[in-house]
Each structure stands twice: as C-alpha cells, then as structure tokens.
Amino acid sequence: MHLPDLFLFSVDNLRRRKGRTMLTIIGVLVGVCAIVVMVSLGVAVNNSTDEMLKNWGDLTRIEVLSEGAQQDTPKLDETMVEQFRSIPGVRVATPVMEPQDVSATIVGGPNNRFEAPGQLIGLEPGAIGPLGYALLAGSSKLTGNPDANRIPVLVGAQAPFGFRDTQKSQNSPDAQKYPQYDDEYMNILNLPRYDEKGTLLNPEEFFFDILHTKLFYRVVVGRDEGSGEDVYKEYELVPVGMISGGANDFAINNGFVMNIENLRKLQADVRKAAGGSAGGGLERGSDGNGGGSIAVVSSRGGSGGGGASSSTGGGGSSSGRGSAGSYSRVLVKVEHVEAMDEVERSIKAEGYQIDSITETRRQMQGQVAQTQMMLGGLAAVSLFVAALNIMNTMTMAITERRREIGIMKVLGCELKNIRRMFLIEAGAIGLIGGVAGVLVSVLLSLLLNNLPALLALLGLGAGGVDVGSFFGLGGLGQTGTAAAISVIQAWLIAFALLFAAAVGLFSGILPARKAVRISSLEAIRHE
C-alpha cells in the first residue's frame, strides 16, 4: 500500500470524527502552545541579557582579583601571572596597576587651564592589542621611555569629557563638555573622531584636541611649610593614540594607559620626590608625619616598589607591606568563549575571585534556566495530558472500527499497513495540533510584545511605558531586540512541530498495536 493512500485513508478517518478530532487537537494545541511560549520567553530573556552583556564588554576577558581570595592563596604576583599565561586557551595575561592618587590630576591646554581627575593605568604594552581594546587614533606603541619625564600614554576615548575649565566656576554649565547618549544603549554619540591623518573631526565638542595637546600628570609631593600650599611635581604625558575599552570598561575609557614599567618608574620617582622617609609608610590618606602627607601609591598594593616587580625598591621600609610585588588585579584574555569555562576553573582553583561577563552571564542564565525548567515542566505536563488524550481518542476510534479493521484484514490489508494507518492518524493529530499551537503561540507572542501599544490603543493607558520601542518588534524571528518579551525563532517552530508529531506518533503506538491484534473474524460477526 502506498504512503499517499495510507495518508488519504487516515485523514478521511479523522474527518469522519470531526468533533472528537478537534477536541483532541485542541489538547495538543494547548500543550504545544504552553511549551513554545515558555521557551520563547526564556529565549527573549537570554537574548536581552546577552545584548546587555555584550554592551558591558568583552565576553572573553577575565578579571582576577586578589581581594576576597582564600587565606592560603598564593600572592597575585608576576609568578602567578606567568602561570596564568601558561593555561591553555589563554591569549594574554597582564597585571593592572592603578595608583589611587587622591591628590593627582591631569592638566592640559593653554596654561594648563583644563584639569581632569585622570586615572593612570599601567598595562604590559604587549597586552593592549590582544585584550581587544580598539585603537581609535594614533598608534598603540607605548614601549620605550626616552625621557623619564615624558611618558607615552594612550588616552581613553571618553577621557576628554573629564576635563574641567578651571577658569570657570565649578557650577557653570560651560565648565565642562558633556557626552551625549543615544536612547537605547547609552552609547556616547559625540566621542572624538579622528581621520587617517590624525585630524580631529569634531573639535567643537571639546576644549582641546587631546591627541595634540601637552598633558601633564600633576602630583602633590609635599606642602610648602611657609605658604601652606601644595608642592607639585609634573610629568609630561605624550598622547600617542586613543583607545576604547568597549562600552562598559569605565577605567580604560576614561583613563590614561601607560607601559606598566613606566608607571613603576614614575611612582618610584614620585616617592623619591616626596621624601624617602615618607615613601615607606605608604598608607592611603595618612597625614601623619610632618608635611609628607603623601598618598601617592594606591591602597591596592599595586605599587611594586621601585623597579622590577619582584624587587622592593623602596628600601627596607616597604617590606612592611605584605603585598610587596603583588597586584590587586590581573586581566586575562582568553582565545574563545568556549575556552572560558576551563580557564576560569583553572584560575578559581588557585583560590582567586574572578570577575568576568561570562561568569555573570552564567549566573543570570542559570536563574533563567531554573525558572524556565519550572515553567517548562508545567508545559510538559499539559503536553503529556494531550498525549493521553490522543491515546484515548485513538483507542476509541479503533474500538468503533473493529469491524472495519476486520474487513480490511479479510480483503488482504497487511498488518504493517493497518499499524501505519493508525500511527499516521495519531501523528496527524499531533502535527495538526502542533501547527495550530505554533500559530497561536506566534499570535500570543505578537500580543505580548505589543501589549503596551495595544493597551494604549484601547485607551487603558500604558503609563510611562515607552510605546515606541515596542513597535515593529514582531516576535517572529526577531532577535536582539531588547524590548521583545517573547522571541520565537525558526528552530523553535521546527522543534515544536517535530515534537508534536512525535508525541502523536508515540501516543499512537499502543492503540495501533491493539488495531493490529483485532481478528479478521470481526468482519463476519453478525450484529
């Protein structure tokens, strides 16, 4: 018997019992709909978290923190950084030095009139490219330090907005240039733009062209006993290029990145200038001994003394810090997202706390998955009930058609064809229910995604909801739309249809077996 004939026969039989078939199909519809909508909600949540996290920064970057480490964890020092580099999948690892100067600023412009609370960041120059920071202008070459007082730096793209005009009142709106944000993702629209020759294309947005202006790192090294004023020391910063750390790397975007070696030398110099005696007692905010109230070096222990990382160049006194030569933060860049788990596990195994977007994502996805599992379980129950329903319908159909089945057997219908007939019938109920379920789900999804708009349309008032952002966000096939509540992708539709058909077929197995067992004598039994 040919398959099309079997199909026709099965569909014919379904049509004969329209009412019952419809009810059974509705059962499947509800089950499929429940599952599809549940999954679509989960997909939408995951999509929007992903979108959000993508906005936060690089998925393959891990921040290793010395804070919060366990007691017996080894120091986060050069040896450990070296060890991180040897973990398979790690592309690059660099310590991060960030002096937390309370009394240092970066100044520039005519008469150094503009001032920013700029943050110096020391990185290994070889790591800047691999870390994925985008070079927006100039070069990223930070090596070499021809003159101890002229240090090459990479300027963060948002750093220009940090400058304040010291000749204007602090409260004046003209004292600062402000970034403009777009609505959706808070991207800054007026970042500096340079052409290939290095010319600033939007100078009107800034006080000065930061890449072509002398900048100085001005740090307090003491206080004049007589006048009571601070004594500064200035170091010239030579901007060689501009980088962006991605949307959410605040430190890089607003900071001044230099070779970690240069930062060490600079700090040593500052300490020397501040007077050797004070240089030892590097405690943040200490204003104890005399005028040497110098809070030059960060509380984060990243000072590393004078020269090489392992040395305690500051003299014996600096050995008082337990964290000599250790870093507060190390950045690790991993080759692929797939390698993240393994690398993170290796680093955690050493006892360190880590911070990565992947870690955050995992936690968020974990929560979503949990909720989804629960709701999915409920949906599965309803589909299970639908399956029982199909079984019941088929069993009834077969009981009613005993005689017919007997006749077909007498007329030479092979058992496999009888089995197929009923399997197709059950499968068709599943598939039709699946199609209907998917259609209803898509409608529901559209409804959910446009709910505020619809409410507004009905005059029910979607108080304060940004209706505009909900428009044009049909759930079907749309991804990456932050506002979509429910996202039904092609794979979900395909899966739902296949699954519904499979459930139908599966529910048909027992009834079909029953049909096959019916005796051909049923045909000649007289009523």
Partner 1 sequence: MHHIIHTRKLKKHYLVGRERVAALAGVDLEIARGEVCCIIGQSGSGKSTLLNMLAGLEPPSAGHVAIAGRKISAMDEDQLALFRQENLGFIFQSYNLLPQLTATENVALPLSFAGIGKTQRLEIARRELARVGMGKRLDHLPREMSGGQQQRVGIARAFVARPKVVFADEPTGNLDTATTRQVLRHMLDCSEGHAITLVMVTHEPELARCGDRIITLSDGKVAENIVQDEKTRDRNRRLLFGETDD
Give all strands (DSSP E) within 245-385, no chain letters. 255-259, 329-334, 353-356
SS (H, E, C) 421-477: HHHHHHHHHHHHHHHHHHHHHHHHHHHHHCHHHHHHHCCCCCCCCCHHHHCCCCCEC
Binding of residue 443 to partner 1 (CB under 8 A): no
Nearest to 207 by CA among 156, 239, 242, 160: 160
Beta bridge partners of 61: 333
Question: Judged by CB under 8 A, which of 176, 404, 467, 510 binds partner 1?
Answer: 404
Least distance to partner 1 from the beta carbon of 431, Å? 21
Cα 332–333–339 angle (5° rounding)?
Answer: 105
Judged by beta carbon, residue 67 or residue 414, the one nearer partner 1 is 414
Binding of residue 440 to partner 1 (CB under 8 A): no
Binding of residue 414 to partner 1 (CB under 8 A): yes
| Other CB atoms within 10 A of residue 278 CB | 21
Binding of residue 16 to partner 1 (CB under 8 A): yes
Least distance to partner 1 from the beta carbon of 416, Å? 8
Question: Judged by CB under 8 A, which of 12, 67, 355, 400 binds partner 1?
Answer: 12
Least distance to partner 1 from the beta carbon of 379, Å? 36
Question: Judged by CB under 8 A, which of 374, 415, 457, 494 binds partner 1?
Answer: 415
The strand pair at 215-223 and 104-108 is best described as: antiparallel
Amino acid identity for residue 73 in this structure:
T
Question: Judged by CB under 8 A, which of 412, 459, 463, 464 binds partner 1?
Answer: 412
How far is 117 from 102, CA to CA, in rounded Å? 9
Question: Judged by CB under 8 A, which of 65, 69, 369, 413 binds partner 1?
Answer: 413
Nearest to 115 by CA among 104, 124, 125, 105: 105
Least distance to partner 1 from the beta carbon of 427, Å? 20
Judged by beta carbon, residue 16 or residue 85, the one nearer partner 1 is 16
DSSP string covering 166-226: TTS-TT-GGGB----B-TTT--BS----B-TT--BS-GGGSSS-GGGS-EEEEEEEEE-TT
8 A C-beta contact, residue 93 and residue 81? yes
| Other CB atoms within 10 A of residue 189 CB | 9
Six token digits for residue 200 = 């600033």
The residue range among 67-75, 95-103, 368-376, 409-417 that interacts with partner 1, by the rule CB under 8 A, is 409-417
Judged by beta carbon, residue 168 or residue 517, the one nearer partner 1 is 517
Binding of residue 19 to partner 1 (CB under 8 A): no
Q: Is 355 helix (H, G, I), strand (E, B) or coil?
A: strand
Question: Judged by CB under 8 A, which of 201, 373, 410, 457 binds partner 1?
Answer: 410
* Contact pattern for partner 1 over residues 447 through 486, marking x by CB under 8 A: ----------------------------------------
Judged by beta carbon, residue 5 or residue 82, the one nearer partner 1 is 5
Size of the site for partner 1 (CB under 8 A): 27
Nearest to 11 by CA among 392, 424, 433, 503: 424
How far is 497 from 28, CA to CA, in rounded Å? 11
The residue range among 134-142, 257-265, 315-323, 513-521 that interacts with partner 1, by the rule CB under 8 A, is 513-521
Judged by beta carbon, residue 102 or residue 410, the one nearer partner 1 is 410
Judged by beta carbon, residue 37 or residue 515, the one nearer partner 1 is 515
Binding of residue 400 to partner 1 (CB under 8 A): no
Binding of residue 423 to partner 1 (CB under 8 A): no
Nearest to 412 by CA among 509, 520, 518: 520
Binding of residue 1 to partner 1 (CB under 8 A): yes
Judged by beta carbon, residue 17 or residue 54, the one nearer partner 1 is 17
Judged by beta carbon, residue 4 or residue 288, the one nearer partner 1 is 4
User: What is the binding site for partner 1 (CB under 8 A)?
Assistant: 1-2, 4-5, 12-13, 16, 403-404, 407-417, 519-521, 523-524, 526-527
